[in-house]
Amino acid sequence: MKLWAKGERIVATAEGNGPVNALDRAIRVGLERIYPQLAKFELTDYKVRILEGRHGTESTTRVLVTTSDGNGDWSTVGVGENVIAASWQALEDAFTYGLLRRESTPPNSRLGLLCSVRRRSGSVDV
């Protein structure tokens, strides 16, 4: 995974129990040096819903993520063309919101993460 945070280009890889867990771990591997508070964030619930199911595998995917930092819980939503893209949005918003709760980011809000999620030959590159 390649992303930008605080003006720094970060490349991180990780393995997990499926692609979404690997994505979560890769984000943490890449960002915990800059945002050590991420180590306290725990994904407590993960739900996937297919919107407009009549489109089969081309359907829009919605992901709901609930995260905790030990002091409270919050939920974020991602919507995308596939489960990885939707999960990326939900995880990015979960980490951003959690850091804002802890006042760990500049007041201009988002982490400033840039990542492309695209399909290519049946695989997903993050």
Q: What is the pLDDT of residues 62-107, one digit of tens each?
A: 999 999 999 999 999 999 988 999 999 999 999 999 998 877 554 4
Q: Specify burial of residue 65 (Cβ count, 10 A radius: 0-12, 13-18, 19+).
A: buried
Q: What is the 3-state secondary structure (H, E, C) of 39-79?
A: HHCEEEEEEEEEECHHHHHHCEEEEEEEEECCCCEEEEEEE
- The continuous run of DSSP H or E covering 86 comes out as helix 83-101
pTM of structure: 0.78
Query: What percentage of the chain reaches a pLDDT higher than 90?
Result: 62
Q: Closest Cα to residue 49, out of 35, 64, 36?
A: 64
Strand partners of residue 62: 49, 79
Q: What is the pLDDT of residues 12-69, one digit of tens each?
A: 999 999 999 999 999 999 999 999 999 999 999 999 999 876 777 778 999 999 999 9
